Amino acid sequence: MPCKKTKAVVSTFGLAFALAASIGLAGCADPQQAPESTTDPDDEVIANMTFDDKIGSKIGYSDEGRLIDNINQLPEVYSHEEEEAVNAENNPPETRTDRNGFTIQPVPADDKGYNTTWLDGDDRGCLSCHDTLEDSQMNQPTYHRLIMMGYPSEQSVQNCLMCHNTWQPNANKLKDNIHQTHLNNDLFNEKFDGNCMSCHAIDDNGDFALWDVVKYDQYKGYVNVSAEDAALDVSYDQDTITPLENQFYKSIKSEPSEWTTDDTQIDPSVYENWTIELKGEVGNPFTMTLPELKEKFGTVTETLKAHCNVNGTGQATIFQAEVTGIPLKDVIEYAQPNEGTNGYTPKGNDGFGNLMPLECLEDAPALLVLEVNGQTLRPSQGYPVAVWVGGGAAAAEFPKYVTSINITTEANADKLWTHPRHGSNVSPSQTEDADLIFFPNAGVLNYPTGVVLENQVGSQMTLEGYADAYHEPIAKVEYSLDGGKTWTTMETPGTDVNRWVYWRMNFTPQEAGSYHLKVRAYSQLEDGSLHEPYYTTDYQFTVK
Ligand SMILES: Nc1nc2c(c(=O)[nH]1)N[C@H]1C(S)=C(S)[C@@H](COP(=O)(O)O)O[C@H]1N2
Ligand SMILES: [Mo]
């Protein structure tokens, strides 16, 4: 097989890349790397070939005369069962331990070694070379905002696609910059023997698809279980709260040197002296410190989801928390918004903020959040104060380090609340194609995809995860363990858009092997019809 030499260096790629980046990508070889020994017998054959040679049979079949005249030799030289068994044994899928300590086997085993030989699964997709996508973002030569998963799940190209392939009007297309950075890179070309198929599959139209997006449907050897035989026990609630340690972190707009990411240091004087300015088209503009605001308006506690608007299909850029804060409606009313005003924009000290409709303060919770899960808001989450709003707003409407709230009159009131009303945070003058906004969404949160679970044959395992569609209530979640032929449906009538749907799927595997779970959520549109998911979430686990 080609590409075998990539295997020895996979885990040190981050290091090698960082090193290469620091020397301007000249001479990418990592000097620490031990020389690779190759045992591939083809190498010798290739070395001895001349220009006149072609690749002929090396398995003992006559090399003279018509092939068809010697078919009596076939049974002696050609035994596919043995050959396949040997191939599978010689090319087992790789396993590794991830940063959370889980054993991961990204490629399912099959009895021929098809997935490793023909699909070359272990040498394809982002994480066959990158340690994680988080550190590949950090390794970039220009600044890229960071999303760190709090749940022990894998960040995949699905998260990249959300900004770089869809509706974010100013984002560079993934196909441009990723081709550019890979095809002009010695690490990719030489060290890793990369080629088109490292990142792609070719679909039926001859177009390139992303391997990481389509791979689960290409692999063979999954244990398929019909919905009936799987007898899944699925349930959900909307109350589950994410522990602080599992809440994702997204870096803010300002310079890293200005970030406050040290959650062990909470300086009370920052809270004591922090001011928020209420301004714009108001009769009573004012600036108050947080203690003054708290004294005047009191606090309330709400359970709210925080679902990042750029969460990719099946990804974990989501959590739910119990937040305590000052009711924003009362604060804004005290400023006496002028007749006809319809929007407000809370802004953080990094300048980040989104325009939201005043109208939504009537029927959805909105808080100047001081505490999360009963603990002082952490610096990474916006200490001393962040705005959180319900009604299905995306977490992009949750500015951290809030210093001002501006009240305005917007001509196009219909497009005020950018994400929840129109499915994206494109600016009010832009329109977007609803198909490209990948929700409703669902994903697994308690294990990364590819996880290997020991001693699990015949004993019950539980996958847990979310379903959410921002401002559209989730209506049902479906699960398939046979590649999408049959589905187990969990109806979720009357869900509350302030909260996520947190589901649990109990399953007792009857045999060892790899399983392919498909999960898809449907939400309810205003006319009562169902919003179908654009992508189905694919997930894999291996049971021993
Ligand atoms: N001040 C400020 N607040 C911000 C942002 C930002 O860039 N600056 N990003 C927002 C986005 S897009 C998200 S998804 C959440 C992430 O919140 P977390 O890091 O607290 O989980 O913060 C929001 N608040
Ligand atoms: Mo976000």
Residue 443 beta carbon below 6 angstroms from any ligand 1 atom? no
Residue 145 beta carbon below 6 angstroms from any ligand 1 atom? no
C-alpha 486 to ligand 2 mean position (Å): 34
- Which ligand 1 atom minimizes the distance to the CA of 250? 19
Taking the C-alpha atoms of residue 15 and residue 131, their distance in angstroms, rounded to an integer, is 9
**Pick from 319, 316, 483, 506: which is nearest to 395 by CA?**
319
Taking the C-alpha atoms of residue 436 and residue 503, their distance in angstroms, rounded to an integer, is 25
pLDDT at position 23, please? 31
Residue 114, token pair as written in the block: 């098809």
Ligand with the closest atom to the CA of 147: 1
pLDDT at position 75, please? 87
Three-class SS of residue 444?
strand
Which of 259, 400, 402 for mutating ligand 1's site (highest number of atoms within 8 Å of CB)?
400
Residue 151 beta carbon below 6 angstroms from any ligand 1 atom? no
Ligand with the closest atom to the CA of 249: 1
Residue 250 beta carbon below 6 angstroms from any ligand 1 atom? yes
**Pick from 438, 503, 515: which is nearest to 477 by CA?**
503
- Which ligand 1 atom minimizes the distance to the CA of 308? 14
CA 183, 188, 189, 193 torsion: positive or negative? Answer: negative
Residue 381 beta carbon below 6 angstroms from any ligand 1 atom? yes
C-alpha 380 to ligand 1 mean position (Å): 9
- DSSP at 147: E
Residues 523, 474: contact at Cβ < 8 Å? Answer: yes
**Pick from 455, 458, 466, 531: which is nearest to 499 by CA?**
466
Residue 398 beta carbon below 6 angstroms from any ligand 1 atom? yes
pTM score over 0.85: yes
**Pick from 167, 179, 171, 184: which is nearest to 208 by CA?**
179
C-alpha 398 to ligand 2 mean position (Å): 8
pLDDT (tens, 9 = 90+) of the chain, 544 residues, equals: 333 333 333 333 333 333 333 333 332 333 344 444 456 667 777 777 776 667 776 678 888 889 999 999 888 888 888 889 999 999 999 999 999 999 999 999 999 999 999 999 999 999 999 999 999 999 888 888 899 999 999 999 999 888 887 656 566 778 888 999 999 999 999 999 999 999 999 999 999 999 999 999 999 999 999 999 999 999 999 999 999 999 999 999 888 888 889 999 999 999 999 999 999 999 999 999 999 999 999 999 999 999 998 899 999 999 999 999 999 999 999 999 999 999 999 999 999 998 888 988 998 999 999 999 999 999 999 999 999 999 888 898 899 999 999 999 988 766 666 554 344 444 333 444 554 466 899 999 999 999 999 999 999 999 999 999 988 899 999 999 999 999 999 999 999 999 999 999 999 999 999 999 999 999 998 888 998 887 899 999 999 9
Residue 352 beta carbon below 6 angstroms from any ligand 1 atom? yes
β-bridge partners, 97:
103
Residue 388 beta carbon below 6 angstroms from any ligand 1 atom? no
Residue 401, token pair as written in the block: 């380090």
> Which residue's CA is the nearest one to ligand 1's atom 11?
396
Taking the C-alpha atoms of residue 141 and residue 184, their distance in angstroms, rounded to an integer, is 14
